[in-house]
């Protein structure tokens, strides 16, 4: 299974994202997509249960996420922080998500929070360097089988 994209969202906006492989042919507005994803996630959790929804599955891809709270400098209360990954849809996805991807997304949240708690989170350009952290955290899970083989050979 290949991670196509990973990122962090706050208040319906993408703070940082890293695209490893294309998921669509056209240009997608990141803010529009982040807002829609946050709205769908909030709707699903308020309709069903907060801990029931772990991923959304489509025909070709699925998106999985983890949540935590972070305190921004312009807020008195911690607010929702979401880490996500877009993956290829394959068989036995449940086990892979639980054993590999969810712990990685937890690490993304933990590292992001350790670097940015109490900061002004509305200035998105400050998070560009965190893309390198995403690369390090996800490691080879972002590579296709061909890329992994080329690296070995």
* Residue 79 belongs to domain with CATH number: 3.30.450.70
Q: Report the pLDDT value the prediction gives residue 91, as an integer from 0 to 100.
A: 79
Global confidence as pTM: 0.83
Q: Which residues form the domain of 129?
A: 3-152
Q: Report the pLDDT value the prediction gives residue 23, as an integer from 0 to 100.
A: 63
Residue 41 contacts residue 53 (beta carbons within 8 Å): yes
- Output the six-digit token pair for 73: 């400098």
Q: Tokens 């690369």 map to which residue?
A: 135
Number of domains in the chain: 1
Tell me the CA distances in angstroms from 132 to 16, 90, 129, one per residue in order. Answer: 11, 27, 6
- Output the six-digit token pair for 83: 């880490």
Q: Report the pLDDT value the prediction gives residue 114, as an integer from 0 to 100.
A: 94
User: Rounded to whole angstroms, how far apart are CA atoms 56 and 137?
Assistant: 22
User: Rounded to whole angstroms, how far apart are CA atoms 116 and 57?
Assistant: 31
pLDDT values of the chain reduced to their tens digit, one per residue, 153 residues: 688 889 999 988 999 988 887 766 567 777 788 888 888 888 877 777 666 678 888 888 898 999 999 999 988 999 989 999 988 888 778 888 888 889 999 999 999 999 999 999 988 899 999 999 988 888 765 555 554 445 555
User: Rounded to whole angstroms, how far apart are CA atoms 10 and 81?
Assistant: 5
Tell me the CA distances in angstroms from 130 to 25, 45, 64, 135, one per residue in order. Answer: 26, 28, 20, 9
Q: Phi and psi dihedrals of 123, rounded to 5?
A: -90, 95
């Amino acid at each position: 299974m290949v991670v196509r994209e990973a990122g962090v969202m706050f208040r319906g906006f993408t703070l940082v994202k890293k695209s490893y492989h294309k998921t669509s042919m056209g240009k997608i507005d990141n803010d529009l997509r982040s807002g829609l994803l946050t709205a769908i996630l909030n709707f699903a959790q308020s309709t069903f249960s907060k801990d029931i929804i772990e991923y959304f599955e489509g025909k070709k891809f699925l998106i999985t996420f983890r949540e935590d709270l972070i305190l921004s400098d312009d807020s008195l209360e911690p607010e929702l922080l979401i880490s996500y990954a877009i993956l290829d849809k394959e068989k036995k996805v449940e086990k892979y998500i639980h054993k590999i991807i969810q712990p990685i997304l937890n690490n993304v949240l933990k590292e992001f929070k350790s670097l940015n708690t109490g900061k002004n989170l509305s200035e998105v350009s400050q998070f560009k360097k965190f893309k390198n952290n995403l690369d390090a955290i996800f490691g080879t899970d972002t590579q296709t089988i061909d890329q992994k083989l080329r690296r070995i050979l």
